[in-house]
Amino acid sequence: MRAALSRLRSRVATIADPANHQRLGWAVVVRWLTIVGFSLLALLAWAIGALAPLLPCIAAGTAAAAVNALNHWCVRRGRGVAAITAVAIPADVVLTTYLIAATGGLGSPFVMLYVVAVVATAMLVDLWVAASVAVAAAGGLTGALWLGLAAPSRPPVGAAQQAVWGLFLLYGLALMTFVGGYVSARLRETARRLRATEAQLVQSEKLRASPASRTS
């Protein structure tokens, strides 16, 4: 356990390197989109009677917004990035587990948040940290269900509930598409820079090998 924590601290320190701040900035944006989008969907589900407890959504959303506001500030200024990253990622897992347990357990529409968190962390932060998030999420929710802490799911209310649940899924998939688009753009930019660098090296070699350069 101590070795795992030491390794995690080392990875977080690497993540906080200034070279990674652009990716962390995108992770902040994805968190804002997640908080705002799922909060609005929760309000819609509550309005049609498909989601009974709104208070857990308000509590989790407020806490997540506070953490991400601090995260945003740190990343933009390049200060305390390692510390806030070490706080923000576990906070995401804890708040999401609380929200899912309070809104129906495995029947909660917020289960999709786990998927978004793991995918976004893997693409924008670190693969090993994303694996840790996945294990923590599964363990936390399983523990909550085993201890009987999850609220019972509401019975289906028909097509309206199914449509709203579909919106939760659609929005989660849209967020993952957004993250994938960013990563794809970064890969294309990296390939373009590599080709440009290769072309410059080839041109330099040609200039060195030219007769004029040999006579000089």
pTM recorded for the entire structure? 0.80
**Taking the CB of residue 22, how many other CB atoms lie within 10 A of it?**
13
Q: What average pLDDT does the structure give for the chain? A: 83
In the DSSP assignment, the letter for residue 50 is S
Tell me which residue has tokens 């004029």: 212
Residue-range domain boundaries for the chain:
2-187
Lowest mean pLDDT among 34-43, 65-74, 88-97, 126-135: 126-135
Please determine, for residue 141, whether its predicted confidence score (pLDDT) is greater than 80: yes
Beta-carbon contacts of 16 under 8 Å, excluding residues fewer than 6 positions away, are 81, 82, 85
Half-sphere exposure of 215 (CA within 13 A, CB side): 3
Average pLDDT over residues 132-142: 89
Q: Where are any strands of DSSP class E within the chain?
A: none
The confidence score (pLDDT) of residue 122 equals 85
The residue behind tokens 């993250």 is 179
Q: Tens digit of pLDDT for each residue in 188-197?
A: 877 877 777 7
* Percent of the chain scoring above 90 in pLDDT: 32
Spatial CA neighbour of 150 closest among 141, 158, 159: 141
The answer to whether the CB of 92 falls within 8 A of the CB of 71 is no
Closest CA relative to residue 178, chosen from 29, 75, 73: 29
| Nearby residues of 145 by Cβ (< 8 Å), 6 or more positions away | 101, 105, 106
129, pLDDT greater than 70: yes
Q: What is the DSSP string of 146-190?
A: HTT-SPPPPPP--HHHHHHHHHHHHHHHHHHHHHHHHHHHHHHHH
Pick the closest to residue 96 from 50, 23, 42 (CA basis): 42
pLDDT at 86: 84
Helix (H, G, I), strand (E, B) or coil at 52: coil
**pLDDT for residue 154:** 57
CA distance 116 to 88: 15
Q: Using one digit for the tens of pLDDT, what is the confidence trace for 5-46? A: 566 666 666 776 777 778 888 889 999 999 999 999 999 999
**Over 80: is that where the pLDDT of 212 sits?**
no
Mean pLDDT throughout 90-98?
A: 93
Most confident of 15-19, 77-81, 195-199, 208-212: 77-81
